[in-house]
Chain A
Amino acid sequence: MLEHLSEGLSLLMRIDTFVMTGFGLLLGMAVGALPGFTTVMAMAILLPVSFFMDPLVGIPFLIGIYKGGIYGGSIPAILINVPGTGASVATTFEGPALTKKGQSRKALDMALFASVIGDFSSDVFTILLMAPIAALALMVGPPELAAIVLFSLIIISGTTHGVFVKGLIMCAFGIFLSMIGQDPLGGMSRFTFGFFELKSGIPLLPLLIGVFALPEILVAVGDKTTAYIAGNKSIIQGSRLALRELTRCSKTIFRSTGIGIFLGMVPGVGQVVAAFVGYAAAKKASKHPETFGTGELEGIAAAESANNAVNGPTLVPLLTLGIPGDNVTAILLGAFVAQGLRPGPQLMVEQAPLMYALLLAMLFANLLFIILGYLTIPFFARVVSIPKAALLPVTAVFAFAGSYVFRSDPFDLVLLVFFGVFGFIARKLQFDVTPLVMGFILGPILEYSFGQTVNLAGGDMVSYIVLERPIAGVVFVLSVIAAVTILWGNYKKRKKSLAGDLAKNHGD
């Protein structure tokens, strides 16, 4: 393997690879920063362009778009509280709070470094342990997926802000919303009330942009201040990230990277779940969990390193079996095939130097991204210094255009406004919308994989899980334990604060 690596390295030493990777990174970052415009769309559009390139240029170019796009999604999440994708929802826990404190640049820097560190270590791990990961990934079938999603939902609901039960209600409501439309297995219409438009269900982007972006605008409209952030213009963007602050989070980044790598073997849900679980774990492990939610840099590091660490292992089924796990890998498959490289069990053997060169290109893309990202962040950070009266309409236009381009249906705009108003009211009544989005994203996956498990079991669920699917069984038991722990912890906390209140009343 070492000689393949060095051979790959020598193949990679060419200027055009670097130029195009850099170009892809910047392009991806710009596209990811536009709400509603997904990395998948950008990659699909630019796929034919890569056909004309050498494999060692075209594929790194697409990988650049992919990596840049994931980071790009966290830019609007940090600056204007609008997550462009599900993966950057967890970043909104801390990002906007930091921006309001005038530390947007620091937050963007932290997101960049955490992303790159997470991604880089995950890539290294993937290259070294390709075969074991491939074997493990095959063991994750529908029952395991169902158990892991259930476990994540429980962990995530334990990290809500504000009143615990309100978060749970929003999460359940999100699951309910995801069921409108056709049921995932049989295609039966549910809760469409006779509207054909509802038959395809509620699309994610209008909901996501609706509950995050529009309330942000509506709240800002009511604010009396004219700038997006009150204060002196020169300090708005804040200072850059200090090395000390990065090293302080090293433990968190390390933990989140591990979580991300593990969840990267689970097809489909990886990034979203990893970001949340990484955040939850960081909060749990922190000596000062009360600072989370008020602009804690560590929270950004946790979410961003976790969702990027997913990238490496998700490529494994593609490279070893030729099976794309999600849309991004499906496009990469197209790019490989177009170059005459049919991913599959033999490709890693027959074309070893080239394949290792491509894997190394991923590592170089990360290093390049640190430089490019660091140079472009001040440009993005400037967005918040645009006066509110101009920024709000522009945000609204982007929200509408972004919701529309996803599937070009005017009905989506109606949904966008509906969820905007809903999100506004929920925010004013102190309901956190994040659990709603999580329930909405994970609910259908849970139902689908559970339904598949029922089919696979062919009637006898218990013995199927116990005898043939021990991993799923273990994760399921863990979920029950986690649920009980969280409920018990919440009960104790509430009792304590109640006792405190009572004591205060006594004192009066």
Chain B
Amino acid sequence: MSLKRTCHHFFAVLAGALLLAGTAIAADYPEKPITLIIPLGAGGSHDVNARVFTSIIPTYLEQPMIVKLMPGAAGQTGTAAAVKAKPDGYTLIFTHNFIDQLQPLLETLPYDTTESLVTVARLNSAPGMIFVNADRPWKTLKEMLDYGRANPGKLKFATSGNWGATMTMGALVMIKEGVDVNYIPYKGGGPANQAVLAGDADFSVNFPGPLLPLEKAGKIRILSFSGKERHKDLPDVPTTEELGIPGSYMERIILAPRAIPEAELQTLRNAFVKMYEDKTFLNMMDKIGETTDYMSGPDYEKVRAQQKVDYQELVKKLSN
């Protein structure tokens, strides 16, 4: 029975992909496959998220969405391509808030993301958590910060790479609290976690997915959780709200060139709304351990504007 079901699903996905490419649809847009640029590498969390939603969304767009991985220069290569793309609704980019809003403030780039790109939807967001190795003496965030203040430059912070998602999340807190820490860049969140587990670094920031099993096994201690309410599996971990520190999230967003015709943008946005009512989709996202806190395009545009202000302030503090 299991074999039959497996084969059925497997061939359904394959055949669907093949068929959709060839079918002509009566509606004007979209009449050909849509390209989704990911400015990050294969196998990352964006790639995995995209593989899930691009296998569902063709049902609502009536055209396939083809992933185009364009890693390089910390996301700049792919972003530049999305900005340069024809604004006909056939090129979208799947990125996150740090590439979108923070990076332009740090480097001179040949494009302006706010001016050139508009939000289609926010797929989901992941809350950041500060954690330490369980054998470290600090029981609360305050204890760790106190130690850091007393010993400037002694605390080792394993980041997911300079200006990567977790570094920014941690830096926001450290700057607000006036703690001078030693930033050690790793190649992504996984190696940074390993550095904390191995005792090479003191603390790091990451998301619930990878951290919860480690916490459960008693290998790490989680000191803070970004959010208004406590996480259901971590009733003892205080929220950033309670601690009075800035919370931080990685927001996975789908953007389109801003000059896209209004009707096309609406079609895309509607497709995402409908996809969020799809049980298979919700089920699959849950299976890969991601949240499904959808946010509509217009709502996220407001968040985006606020981010710009926040990051400008952050960078101003960092650079003097």
Contacts and interface: CB of A to CB of B under 8 A. Distances in A.
Contact of B3 (A19, A196, A268, A337): A19
A411 to B, nearest CB: 9
Interface in A32-56: 38, 40-41, 43-45, 47-49, 51-54
Given A48-B13, A52-B13, A409-B77, A345 B287 contact: no
A135 to B, nearest CB: 10
Interface stretch (B123-131, B195-203, B241-249, B299-307): B195-203
Contact of A456 (B76, B184, B288, B289): B184
B42 A40 contact: yes
Contact of A407 (B71, B182, B198): B71
B50 to A, nearest CB: 9
Contacts of A448: 187
A345 B219 contact: yes
A342 B182 contact: no
A342 B213 contact: yes
B174 to A, nearest CB: 15
Contacts of A267: 191, 194
A344 B200 contact: no
Contacts of B163: 187
Contacts of B18: none
A20 interface: yes
Interface in B165-185: 182-185
B81 A409 contact: yes
A456 B199 CA distance: 11
A182 B73 contact: yes
A203 interface: yes
25 contacts: A14-B3, A38-B42, A41-B42, A41-B69, A47-B48, A51-B287, A53-B6, A54-B2, A141-B200, A182-B73, A186-B162, A196-B76, A200-B72, A200-B77, A267-B191, A322-B210, A323-B191, A327-B44, A334-B48, A338-B287, A342-B213, A408-B70, A408-B81, A409-B72, A452-B184
B260 interface: no
For the complex of A and B, 6 pairs with smallest distance between CB atoms? A200-B72, A344-B213, A327-B43, A52-B9, A345-B217, A16-B3
Of B10, B42, B284, which is in contact with the most chain A CB atoms at under 10 Å from its CB?
Answer: B42
B10 A52 contact: yes
Contacts of A344: 213-214, 216-217
Contacts of B51: 44-45, 47-48
B9 A53 contact: yes
Contacts of B13: 48-49, 52
Of B156, B194, B219, which is in contact with the most chain A CB atoms at under 10 Å from its CB?
Answer: B194
A346 interface: yes
B160 to A, nearest CB: 13
A465 B156 CA distance: 17
Contacts of B198: 138-139, 141
Interface in A333-386: 334, 337-340, 342-347
